[in-house]
Structures are given as C-alpha cells and as structure tokens.
Amino acid sequence: MSEDLFGFDMDYVHLNPELEWKIANLPDSPGCYLMRHQGEIIYVGKAKNLKNRVSQYFRPSRNHTPKVRAMVSKIDDFDIMLVDGELEAFTLECNLIKLHKPHYNILLKDDKHYPFIRVDLKERYPRVQLVRRQEKDGAKYFGPFQGATVVREVLDVARMVFPIRTCNWQLKPDKPHRPCIHHQVGQCPAPCAGLISEEDYLRTIHGVMDFLNGKYAPVLDALKQRMAEAAASMNYERAAVYRDQMRAVEAVMQKQKAISTAMGDQDIIAALPHDADAMVQLMFVRSGRLIGSERFTLEGAGDEAMGDVVTQFILQYYDLENMPPHELLLSVMPDEKEVVEQLLTDLHGRRVYLANPMRGEKRKLINMAVKNLKDEMHKLDRKNANSYARTTGALEELQYVLALENLPRRIEGYDISNTQGAQSVASEVVMVDGLPANKEYRHYRIKTVEGANDFASIAEVISRRLSHGLKEMEERREQGLPPEGGKFSWLPDLILIDGGRGQVAAAQEAMRDLGLDIPMFGLAKRIEEIVLPDEEESILLDRHSNALHLIQRVRDEAHRFAIIHHRTLRSRASIASRLDGVPGVGEKRRKAILKQFKTVEALMEASPDDIAKTPGVPRGVAEGVYRFLHEGKDSLTIEKQS
C-alpha cells in the first residue's frame, strides 16, 4: 500500500497536487465542506473541526461504507465555508443540501406542501381559509391535512354547523353591502350588511376553532337538541338537515382517531433501513388526534445511521411552509439533539422539543409509527417479489425453456394487420428487462407485398428492421458510440412472431439472409403453443407460467399496436376517398385535412369554420368541402371504424 507524506492511502484515492495541498492546509475551525467531481458538487457535509473531518475521508478506514468509498473515489476537488459555530454549520449544511441536492447526500425528494386551515383573529369578521403554507403572521393554523380534499370536507362540515363568511370583501361598517345568496340559504350571517355584531360573529368563529381542535361533543349535542326541537314542532325538513349535519360531523370524527388524552400537537417520526434505502414514517397528531400520516423513501440511505437519517429528514422537511409542532417524538435520537432543537425553535418562534421516550403513552405512539412502517416495508417486499417474478424471473424461465445462452433482456414482438390484403401494416413492440419500452415501438407499412400474404409481409418487416439495425450499428461503432442509443442499432436478444411455423420460417430466412442468428419463436393462438424454427415439436407451458404470461403480453401488445395503426390508415383512406373530386382540394390540401381531422366522423361533424382552420385551406374551399360532404347526406353511407 503506497502512502504519501500526509499518510494518505494513494491506492484508495488518487490525489492531485492541489487536492493534497488543500488537505494539508485545512483549518481547525467549524464549517461546511463541498466535495466536487469535475466541478459538480457531489456531497455537502458539516464539521466542528474541518481539518479532522475532511482528512478522514482520504485515509484508509475499514469503517468507511461502500457509499463513502464510491464517493471518495470520485472527489477531485473540494471547497470549505467557515462559520462561527455548530448551529451555523447545521443551518448552512441544510441550505446547501436543499440548493444543490448532491448525489451522495441523504435527500428528501418529496416536495409536497400539505394544506392547512388558517384563521386570522386580527381580521374584522375572520374567515376560515385553506392555505398551502404556514407563516409567522399571528394567525391560527390547523393541520397539516393530507390533501385539499380532506380540508374541504372538514370546512364543508364546519360551515354546515357554523355560518361564517367566505367572501374576500373588505368589510366597513359605514358601507354595508347587500347580502348575497349565502345569507339567503343560511350559510352566512351577513356581516357585510351589519346583520351580526362582531362579538356574536367571534363566538361563532371560536366554535369553529374548537371544532377544528377536535372538540366535537358540543357540536353534536347542539345538533341533537336542534333536531329534537324541529321534530317536536313537526318541521321534519329542518330536522333532516340537522340529522345530515350530525352524520357529517361523525364522519370527520371517524377519520381522526383519538390517540392521546394530553390534547397536544406532536409529529411522530420513525426511520428504518430498507434494502439500499431508508424509509421514514411521519404521523401528525393535533389536539390529541391522529389526523394523517405520510411515508417517505430516502434513496441510497440504507447504510447510514438512522440518527443521521432522522436528522436530515427533520432539517429538510420542516421549513417556513411546514412548521414543526411543539414536540417531535422520534424512534431514534439524533446525535446533535440540542442543535436540531435550537434550529427548529428559531424556525417556529417558540420552543420545540425532541423526545425519544422509552415507556408510556408517547412510546406507544412511536411503536405505532414503527409498526406502520414495517407493514409498508413488508408490502413493498411482496410487491417487489411479485414484480421480480413477472419480469426477471419470467425472463430466466424463458431462457431455460428456450435453451438460450444469455438472458433475453430485449424482446421484440411482431404482428401483421390488414383487411383482405388492403392497408397491410406491421407492428414492432419491445420489452426490455420484462417491461414495455414504448419509445422503441415501431410501425411499418408493407411496401413489396400485394394482397394478404402474412409470410412475405413478416419477411419484409424483419429484413427492413434488421437491415436498419446493422447499418446504424456500424455508423455508431465508427463514432465510438454504443448500440443502445440508436433507433435501430440495439438488436433484439429474442424475436417473437405472432403466428405459427410458416410465419416463423419466413422471418428466420429473412434474418439469416442478413448473416444474423438471433433466437426466434412463434406463439400460435389456438392452444398458446411455442413454435420453434427447425423444430417439429411445440412447447406447451403451464398456463400459470410467468414465462407464458410474459410472451402473451408481448404478443397481445404487438397485436394491439398493429390494429390501432391499421385503423388509423383505414380512416385516413376513407377521408381521402371522400375528398376526391372536391373543387380546390388537391393532394397538398387533402393531406392537410387528413392531418387535421384524422377520422371520417370528425370531418363529418366539423363546421365550415372548423374546416377553414386547417392550414392552407381558404374559407371558400372549406365551404365547398362542407357542401360536398353533406350534399345528399341521407343517402351517404358512412363507414364507421370500430
């Protein structure tokens, strides 16, 4: 092992002279460091002592994870930024990570902003609003909620029970407005018209706030009393309204599970490794009620300490738009607990606490978050196992069944479609690693075959596709480019022909004429038998076989893609035939109209104004087309394309 004069393992990372000089002259100060590769920032970190921390990366260490080793092998430069203390280093690191999103940092990629309900008591006749960010403006915020739909459901219920204004008018006592329809239907007390005092309106608003804080019992009791009074006076319609309001309140209650008697605001955060990633469960408790939860995946953070994962999640998730509650309950406590608490306290404007309780009611909340997270991980594992069986597992089975030397990563499927030999087309669909590669799909118009001859048609298509591939492959080789990037140069590992022995034999002959030997087979529809070239015996797979399901998906996709293209061509041909003989419509305008409307139905439904919007078609010609198409309309038979 070779070492330089600084004691660095030169086999571990290649240090250029400038990098060696920078490492040797690092200061004994707190700050942040930015690791670079070819100018790009690939990692941002913080340190109490930059000299000690940064130097560790370039020394051999068994404690370095594979991720750190991979990162260090790419570092060709770094920068440092000095700060006054640990708190400033934390803040700067968080801001730099959010700004640059370095590849090797733990990144929270979810950028959703959860909605809140806002009530500003400083406003004359306060409103209850849905907002996307929480600000330090003195207003009361309720939430966060999981989506605007949930917020609107809660607001609808609140407004059913508590009549409050929803307008944006600036209300002035000396300039009353005429009450709107909301007042007439009992949904607003019309403060704009001076029909309610500020004191009475504020009592209603405080009732709304109690409701949003989870105090549902007074609301239900009041509604029950009103319903009973309405029923006693035989006002059954009004009683039915109160009954519906009670059901709406109860529906909201069911969605918000009461989990704490402390009636506090808390976020519960649990983190666990899952394969190469880390997963975080975030649960929102407001006024002692669980109002929602969310899961996050931090890619590539599976080998990080979960305390570091929790720290980075907190620093990247909470900001001025997602304000932290009074208390965060954590499954694992960060090493820098006091610094993180101080950052959140400064952000919130009041004290924020981090806690990792070992017993009691709060521990039960953390255990509930961990349980939910493990359940989600179990579901993902089952989903991934099923996905593996349908893709890679199916390919491995197909490789075994067909006795292929290599795994057939790229499979191409071909199908021919025509109507009694007319408008004959072929489709090429592609699956890569068992999944559809839609950008690789191709259509072919059959050029050299007259009539319904599937054998000759499939031979033409295979010859054209592979010829294009060989030509482009050579061009890319001369340019030093891999074949995977071209339109045709990535040749298939396996070819599927929708048909029997005749189609497969014709396709194989066309392929061999080009000097290629790509594995090929057909799938006959009658009993779903696999037909191999040069083999008399067919292969019948179990109907539950993943390999059979895979090739059926390829075959069905090729058939679907061919049918769609064939219908489009027939529709265009039908339009073109109907435009024959229209004065002023030549080949160029016919093509423009075909491109504009695509189907007979669309053209027949178009008005002269619609037709005149076609590029290059004057108003007079458009009117002529319309008259020509609709003259004697009752006697015309319009061929519908199914």
DSSP 12-45: TS---HHHHHHHHT--SS-EEEEEEETTEEEEEE
- Give the Cβ contact number of residue 633 at 10 Å: 9
- CA triple 398-401-405, angle to 5 deg: 75
Task: Enter the tokens of residue 619.
Answer: 């108003």
pLDDT at 573 over 60: no
What pLDDT sits at residue 272? 93
* 78 found inside a domain: yes
416 lies in which domain range? 405-557
Task: Enter the tokens of residue 314.
Answer: 């907190």
Given a contact cutoff of 8 angstroms between Cβ atoms, the answer to whether 4 and 62 are in contact is: no
Query: Each residue of 214-226: pLDDT tens digit?
Result: 777 777 888 888 8
Alpha-carbon span 339 to 346, nearest angstrom: 11
Highest mean pLDDT among 98-102, 158-162, 277-281, 284-288: 277-281
Task: Enter the tokens of residue 91.
Answer: 């803040």
DSSP classification of residue 190? -
Instruction: Let me know whether 466 and 438 are in one domain.
Output: yes
pLDDT at 387 over 80: yes
Instruction: Let me know whether 150 and 196 are in one domain.
Output: yes
What pLDDT sits at residue 302? 85
Taking residues 106-127, what's their average pLDDT?
77
Q: Pick the residue with more confidence: 246 or 62?
A: 246
* 512 found inside a domain: yes
What pLDDT sits at residue 578? 60
Given a contact cutoff of 8 angstroms between Cβ atoms, the answer to whether 144 and 284 are in contact is: yes
Task: Enter the tokens of residue 505.
Answer: 């034999």
Partnered with residue 43 across adjacent β-strands are 35
Instruction: Let me know whether 338 and 367 are in one domain.
Output: yes
Q: Give me the number of domains the chain comprises.
A: 5
What pLDDT sits at residue 462? 94
Alpha-carbon span 223 to 217, nearest angstrom: 10
Query: Each residue of 279-303: pLDDT tens digit?
Result: 999 988 877 777 777 888 888 888 8
Instruction: Let me know whether 217 and 130 are in one domain.
Output: yes
Instruction: Let me know whether 313 and 241 are in one domain.
Output: no
Mean pLDDT check: name the lowest of 109-123, 267-281, 542-556, 619-633. 619-633
Given a contact cutoff of 8 angstroms between Cβ atoms, the answer to whether 57 and 47 are in contact is: no
Strand order in the sheet with 31-37: 40-47, 31-37, 77-82
Q: Pick the residue with more confidence: 179 or 573?
A: 179
For residue 527, give the CATH number of its domain: 3.30.420.340
Give the confidence band of 431 by pLDDT, cuts at 50, 70, 90. very high
Residues with Cβ within 8 Å of 150's Cβ and at least 6 positions away in sequence, in order, are 255, 292
DSSP classification of residue 417? E
Give the confidence band of 580 by pLDDT, cuts at 50, 70, 90. low
Instruction: Let me know whether 197 and 247 are in one domain.
Output: yes
Instruction: Let me know whether 601 and 517 are in one domain.
Output: no
pTM for the structure as a whole = 0.55
| Domain end residue (candidates: 224, 258, 292) | 258
Partnered with residue 282 across adjacent β-strands are 269, 294
For residue 355, give the CATH number of its domain: 3.30.420
Instruction: Let me know whether 132 and 251 are in one domain.
Output: yes
Alpha-carbon span 306 to 297, nearest angstrom: 13
Partnered with residue 550 across adjacent β-strands are none
pLDDT at 636 over 60: no
CA 188 distance to own-chain centroid: 40
Query: Each residue of 41-83: pLDDT tens digit?
Result: 999 998 888 988 898 888 776 677 788 888 888 888 898 888 8
* 568 found inside a domain: no
pLDDT at 463 over 90: yes
* 458 found inside a domain: yes
* 567 found inside a domain: no
Residue 315: helix, strand or coil by DSSP? helix
Taking residues 108-133, what's their average pLDDT?
78
| Domain end residue (candidates: 226, 258, 290) | 258
For residue 615, give the CATH number of its domain: 1.10.150.20
pLDDT at 598 over 60: yes
| Domain end residue (candidates: 258, 278, 309) | 258
What pLDDT sits at residue 207? 84
Taking residues 174-203, what's their average pLDDT?
82
**How much is the mean pLDDT over the chain?**
81
Highest mean pLDDT among 335-339, 569-573, 625-629: 335-339
Given a contact cutoff of 8 angstroms between Cβ atoms, the answer to whether 259 and 285 are in contact is: yes
* 108 found inside a domain: no
pLDDT at 567 over 70: no
Instruction: Let me know whether 185 and 275 are in one domain.
Output: no
Q: Give percent above pLDDT 90 in the chain.
A: 19
pLDDT at 112 over 60: no
Highest mean pLDDT among 104-118, 180-194, 403-417: 403-417
What pLDDT sits at residue 423? 65
pLDDT at 428 over 50: yes
Given a contact cutoff of 8 angstroms between Cβ atoms, the answer to whether 362 and 288 are in contact is: no
